[in-house]
Amino acid sequence: MQPLERIRSKTVVIDSSNIDTDQIIPARFLTTTTKQGLGRQLFADWRYLADGTPNPEFILNTPGAAGCQILVAGRNFGCGSSREHAPWALLDYGLRAVISTEIADIFRSNSLKNGLLPITVDEATARWLLDHPGADVDIDLASTRLTLPTGASLSFPIEAFARHCLLHGIDELGYLRSKLPDIERFEAARDERARSA
Amino acid sequence: MSPRTLFDKVWTAHEVVKETADTPAVLYIDLHLIHEVTSPQAFSVLRSLALPVRRPDRTLATMDHSTPTRTEQVFGGVPIKVDAAAKQVAELERNAAEFGVELFDMRDARRGIVHVISPELGATQPGMTIVCGDSHTSTHGAFGALAFGIGSTEVSHVFATQCLLQRKPKTFAINVEGQLRPGVTAKDLILAIIGKVGVSGGTGYVFEYRGSTIRGLSMDERMTICNMSIEAGARAGMIAPDDTTFAYLKDRLRAPQGTAWDAAVERWRTLAGDPGATFDASIDIDAAALEPMITYGTHPGMVVPITGTIPQSPGAGQPSATAVFDKAMAYMGFHGGDVMLGKPIDVVFIGSCTNGRLEDFRAAATILKGRKVAAGVKLLIVPGSQQVKREAEAAGYAQIFKDAGADWRESGCSMCLGMNGDTVGAGEYSISTSNRNFEGRQGVGARTLLASPLTAAASAVQGKITDPRTLV
């Protein structure tokens, strides 16, 4: 995984709450066996009309959306299914961060493992961002600060270990495998207890 | 030691390495369930690192999401309609063979929805940690297991190490007291809970369902409750194991046998939360006050009693909430203030990991016996597993369904998410016993109303949203 330190980008806004992973990537596209190429199907049912042509009213199909790396959305983004295809699709499309007041647990965990930053902010900041699509936002992971074009700057929460892994491009599996001696001891102790019982 | 909750006990017993400020806990996983949709990318990780599945003996594979439900496609050699789904099924067969993982393939008598087969085999047991690349893994919490959904990267972590890196979640007590009234089911109870907690109220928490109402539920009912914990945002929901749990598990194929059984029950009895154990949050639910519930919008928290009306739009004071509400109503073709009873429907789906077990079909059969599905309504009934299918056939339910005009299929996730081609048409109304009424969940443009098997069956007979209490 590439190290991730800073994202400076205009935002694209979907002012809707409870955007579930079925909207992010509908189930019929989950028959893939790879992670690649899902960006084309991102938000497919909102983004394309019945005949497959782009829906001109959907935000990702408007000129301002091109090249934006930060998605701002309403409360409880990423709820529902555990499909990791959701962050894969967002990343493949070109997004690097999602900002909301609340982000669902499994989506958050999946995002962090793929270099997509899930950022939760307070209501007032979220409201400002939702009301100002296209704002130039600066996300600094090293200092965990989000800076708005107004100059307002705030700290955002992110789990320390996930931040460390993202900053240094560390794969969590490598760390977990370094604990294999502990895992083997744990298993041996359990087996021993089971035998004596 | 201070009093501990059920969750605390299970968590602590699986801490290989405790969490610190800088690092998450290393949590041991007793049982890893996999299926065809979320495992291929995880097997690819193993292949790229030349790693084996470390504990194939703790790994069990089935196919359920993209598999066909038509008998001729499952057993008759008729090809799977969706090419990509066929490829995915074939890939799981290859991966399971290469990595030595036990797989219940398409024609296996033990196959079914992952969250139905593991309990019925007795593989799901109290006190275990259980994960699967599927958010409804919370189902297994009905046995007092800590069970939660994970992504495909985490599936690869469990493959390689039998462990996960996890931060300890907070605990949330859902206290339910009182007797459910006739016609009000476990599905109605969990829908009411989601309505009260909200679809993100459980984020960061593990639920523990407690109280006399929960104690009085069967295992099938408890699984329905725990299954939908994720719809309130909670990754896991748990119920303390008791005599009901042990009676269910006894003599199941993979449950402990003989003296090991007695020892296991003794151990399982210690899992219930200690008196005085505290939770980070709690709510109280009066079960006796509940009615059959039905959703009217595009998430499971948009739910009302079946005799009720759709709430009014939040109004001009809350422009953002109003826009969301109005969008949901436009999608559903409903309006604030609408009466739910009597709205016409097109499709009824009875099945899924939420309501695809024998008791669910028994409930549906009580309504459908001697009745016919209304003209113009399609009723699809899909058992949660091949074992449930055999049991429902032996009990005569399947014949009741066929006589009523229902389509009775082989097991799988089917129309819950429509991956296998079992879909609801654009604009059609579907009463579904599944777990999600998201836009497009059952097919592009499909309009889903979540309800119990009783309500689904009653509505199929009448061709409109029907209070099942008027037919029993």
Q: What pLDDT does B309 receive?
A: 98
* Closest chain B C-alpha to A57 CA, distance in angstroms: 14
The per-residue b/e assignment along B80-93, b for 16 or more CB within 10 angstroms, e otherwise, is bebebbbbbbebbb
* Chain B residues near residue A76 by CB distance under 8 angstroms: 199-200, 203, 233
Beta bridge partner(s), residue A139: A7, A146
The answer to whether residues B141 and B238 touch, using CB atoms and an 8 Å cutoff, is yes
Structure tokens at B309: 């009306």
* Exposed/middle/buried for residue A99 (C-beta within 10 Å: 0-12, 13-18, 19+): buried
Residue A2 confidence (pLDDT): 84
Please give the mean pLDDT across all residues of chain A.
96
Percentage of chain A surpassing pLDDT 70? 100
Record the pTM.
Answer: 0.97
Q: Is domain B170-245+264-289 given the CATH code 3.30.1360.120 in the classification? A: no
pLDDT for residue A197 is more than 80? no
Q: Which two tokens stand for residue B288?
A: 């006796």
Q: Which residues, in sequence order, are bridge partners of residue B32? A: B59, B131
Q: Tell me which of B12, B36, B41 to substitute to probe the interface with A (most A C-beta atoms closer than 10 Å).
A: B41
Of B137, B327, B441, the CB nearest to A16: B327
Mean pLDDT for chain B?
97
DSSP state of B357: S
| Regions in chain B scoring below 70 on pLDDT | none
Q: Which residues neighbour A196 within 8 Å (Cβ) at sequence distance 6 or greater? A: none
Would the CB atoms of A84 and B152 count as touching at under 8 Å? yes
Distance between CA atoms of residues A194 and B456, nearest Å:
46
First to last CA, chain A: 45
The answer to whether B355 and B454 are in contact (CB under 8 A) is: no
Tabulate helix, strand, coil % of chain A (nearest 5). Answer: 40, 20, 40
Taking alpha carbons only, the member of A55, A116, A123 closest to residue A90 is A116
Q: What whole-number distance in Å separates Cα of residue B447 and Cα of residue B328?
A: 10
Task: Give the model's pLDDT for residue B472.
Answer: 79
Domain regions of chain B by residue span = 6-166, 170-245+264-289, 293-470
At residue A118, the pLDDT reads 98
Cβ distance B204 to A105 less than 8 Å, yes or no, reads: yes
Please give the full DSSP string across B74-143, using - where no structure is assigned. HTS-PPPSSHHHHHHHHHHHHHHHHHT-EEE-TT-TT-B-HHHHHHHHT-S-TT-EEEESSGGGGGGGGG
Size of interface A-B (CB pairs under 8 A): 177
Topology of the domain covering B6-166: Aconitase; domain 3 (3.30.499)
Tokens of B312: 């009014």
Q: What is the pLDDT of residue B314?
A: 87
Distance (Å, whole) CA B255 – CA B120: 10
pLDDT of residue B144: 98
Provide the token pair at B347.
């499709």
pLDDT at A146: 98
CATH of domain A6-170: 3.20.19.10
Task: Compute the CA torsion angle B466, B468, B470, B472 (nearest 10 deg).
Answer: 150
In chain A, residues with a C-beta closer than 8 Å to the C-beta of B419 are 27-28, 30-31
Test B133 with A34 for CB contact under 8 angstroms: no
Instruction: Give the CATH architecture of domain B293-470.
Output: 2-Layer Sandwich (3.30)
Q: What is the pLDDT of residues B191-234, one digit of tens each?
A: 999 999 999 999 999 999 999 999 999 999 999 999 999 999 99
Distance from CA of B134 to the nearest CA of A (A): 5
Q: Where are the domains of chain A?
A: 6-170
One fold for B6-166 and B170-245+264-289: no
Neighbours of B180 (CB within 10 A): 18
Query: Which among B29, B14, B18, B12 has a CA at the least distance from the CA of B164?
Result: B29
Q: How far is A104 from chain B (nearest CA, A)?
A: 6
* H or E element at residue A68: none
Put simply, whether A8 touches B (Cβ < 8 Å) is: no
Are B380 and B350 spatial neighbours (Cβ–Cβ below 8 Å)? yes
Q: Residue B207 is encoded by which pair of tokens?
A: 């639920």
* Calpha distance A50→A197 (Å, rounded): 63
* Cβ within 8 Å, pair A28-B418: yes
Sign of CA dihedral A180, A181, A183, A184: positive
Cα-based distances in Å from A188 to A167, A183, B16, B287: 35, 9, 12, 45
Instruction: Tell me whether residue A14 is exposed, middle or buried, using C-beta atoms within 10 angstroms of its C-beta: 0 to 12, 13 to 18, 19 or more.
Output: buried
User: Which residue do the tokens 């049912």 mark?
Assistant: A45
Block residue for tokens 């309130």: B232
Q: How far apart are CA B258 and CA A30, in angstroms?
A: 43
Could you report the per-residue pLDDT of B78-132, keeping only the tens digit for each?
777 777 888 999 999 999 999 999 999 999 999 999 999 999 999 999 999 999 9
* A10 confidence band (pLDDT: 50, 70, 90): very high
* Strand ranges (E), B239-329: 281-286, 293-295, 303-305
Residue from B112, B66, B68, B113 nearest B91 by CA: B66
Q: How confident is the model at residue A1 (pLDDT cuts 50, 70, 90)?
A: confident
Give the tens place of pLDDT for each residue, A126-174.
999 999 999 999 999 999 999 999 999 999 999 999 999 999 999 999 9
CB A76 to CB B426 under 8 A? no
What is the Cα B249 distance to its own chain's centre?
Answer: 19
Query: Which tokens hold the place of B114?
Result: 């992952």
